[in-house]
A and B are shown apart, each in its own frame.
Chain A
């Protein structure tokens, strides 16, 4: 009983248990290893949720944004606000003759 993975099923008959064991193949050790690695990898990725930038890294982000603003295009405007793609230079104009 100590090795029974499901205590609630202890009332089942031994014949039923034997039949279940007979039809369930043993898992491949490689599959188990792969699953364990996947679990560990996910645990790894889920632990650190807060990523803070400071100092030179934060300055680099701000500098990048400044460069982006100075090179802002219609594509940037559309990406930031799809409903206002006419904001910068997109309005068609007709020059006087």
Chain B
């Protein structure tokens, strides 16, 4: 390309240019290729359908009209305000990554990039493949908040495992592809009591659920203890977040896992995500689509993937609330085990968490704790 540019400007102008200018010129070429309508994709007159960076515009931000609603202001009373956003708790990323979805799609990328074992990618899956590789399987673009790779931490997967260990003292249930434990930096300051405290919390809430409607028997529910456990969880989680610590790591991790979760979850009137169609992995249920893709690439997904998908949203929202201190008081924790009209309540979330946590860990938090005499 640069030899063609040199017919339009002095070669010295190119050699003296800033690299950003050169990169931008290449983007302009890609944006305006010779294209003949009606030609098949791949034809010399229609090489690709992948888009260049958004064109230069006086308006900001440079997103297409199709994406503009995401950033559109919100009409409130009495004024229009900018939309604000929240992202999931780190526990969401931990749960989704446990399905092995990242490793499975890594294998998908590998096969599509290096050969045609899975067939040639379809026209519409080309964009998904490009976006996925750009965003989640390479070093991020400089200065972006989600770019986590550096000379200090060069492995994205290890970069996610470190905050999992620090926040929850939990390892992912899979190691590397060779079956060995995945190497990453373990921190000394970690919430080693998170799991035992959380399970005690679940156990006490389940007691509350069991006896919430009882009137004539003694009620062993202990709201003070539940509040105490919630405060303990809050304190240990917030200790790791001092001064905004781990926020970037959390943001990057939940963004990556949400991309893969959406890819598998997306099912609209029988339609599926482009890559799911390209892999002929259509099916009912998020975990079933993952299983089919895993089968195609020969890397099994976790057998309890459905439970990981099911628990992720509920436990993320609960931990956000616990960190907010909403359950620091005994008279507040009744919300955790008391049904409320309207659905989408802490009580329904707790039932989802208790059921799936029991299935995932194999430890029945519905069983009463037996104390040796």
Contacts and interface: CB of A to CB of B under 8 A. Distances in A.
B321 A57 contact: no
B51 A60 contact: no
Interface string A32-75: 00000000100111111101010111111101110110110111
Contacts of A70: 84-86
Contacts of B35: 97
Contacts of B339: 51
B305 interface: no
* Interface SS of chain A: helix
Nearest to A52: B338
The size class of the interface chain B forms with chain A is 35 or more
Given A45-B213, A51-B212, A53-B335, A74 B340 contact: no
Contacts of B324: 63
B326 A60 contact: yes
B268 interface: yes
A44 B215 contact: yes
B321 A48 contact: no
B129 to A, nearest CB: 15
B64 A56 contact: no
* Interface SS of chain B: loop
A85 B335 contact: no
A22 interface: no
A85 to B, nearest CB: 6
Contacts of B214: 44-45, 47-48
A83 B313 CA distance: 21
A85 B339 CA distance: 26
A86 B363 CA distance: 38
Given A86-B269, A90-B268, A51 B344 contact: no
Interface of A: 40, 43-49, 51, 53, 55-61, 63-65, 67-68, 70-71, 73-76, 80, 85-86, 89-97
28 contacts: A44-B213, A44-B215, A44-B217, A47-B214, A47-B215, A48-B212, A48-B214, A48-B215, A49-B213, A51-B339, A51-B340, A53-B334, A53-B338, A55-B332, A56-B332, A63-B326, A64-B321, A65-B344, A67-B86, A67-B320, A70-B84, A71-B87, A73-B265, A76-B344, A90-B266, A90-B268, A92-B271, A93-B66
Interface of B: 35, 49, 51, 64, 66, 70, 84-88, 127, 212-217, 262, 265-269, 271, 313, 316-317, 320-321, 324, 326-327, 329, 331-336, 338-340, 342-346, 349
